[in-house]
Amino acid sequence: ETGVTQTPRHLVMGMTNKKSLKCEQHLGHNAMYWYKQSAKKPLELMFVYSLEERVENNSVPSRFSPECPNSSHLFLHLHTLQPEDSALYLCASSQALNAETQYFGPGTRLLVL
């Protein structure tokens, strides 16, 4: 248990659906991250938030929309996804933004049909 929780753990959605992934950290951290992990590929950084402000949007398609309402919660809103978006989506948090150890949640396994 890393102190970072994610829901749902598994999600199957059609290409026309809208769904949201939720991440919550119980560590009092100020920075939160979304990563995508595809099979046999390195984790890819998607978004970074520090003190609820987005500091990084790593060329992610607009069909992925992040939201950080407070420093403990992070959402990833999904709409009109493609089958190639099927992957494990990992949330992480760190105490601060610079070169700090990041702690990961268990991820949401997403399948887009």
Partner 1 sequence: GQNIDQPTEMTATEGAIVQINCTYQTSGFNGLFWYQQHAGEAPTFLSYNVLDGLEEKGRFSSFLSRSKGYSYLLLKELQMKDSASYLCAVIDDYKLSFGAGTTVTVRA
Q: Interface residues with partner 1 (CB under 8 A)?
A: 2, 4, 31, 33, 40-43, 45, 48, 50, 55-56, 90, 94, 97-107, 109
CB of 2 to partner 1, least distance (A): 6
CB of 102 to partner 1, least distance (A): 6
In terms of CB distance, is 48 or 110 closer to partner 1?
48
CB of 74 to partner 1, least distance (A): 15
In terms of CB distance, is 41 or 69 closer to partner 1?
41
CB of 80 to partner 1, least distance (A): 27
In terms of CB distance, is 26 or 100 closer to partner 1?
100
Chain center to CA of 106:
11
Give the separation between CA 63 and CA 67, rounded to whole angstroms.
13
In terms of CB distance, is 31 or 112 closer to partner 1?
31
CA atoms within 13 A on the CB side of 81: 24
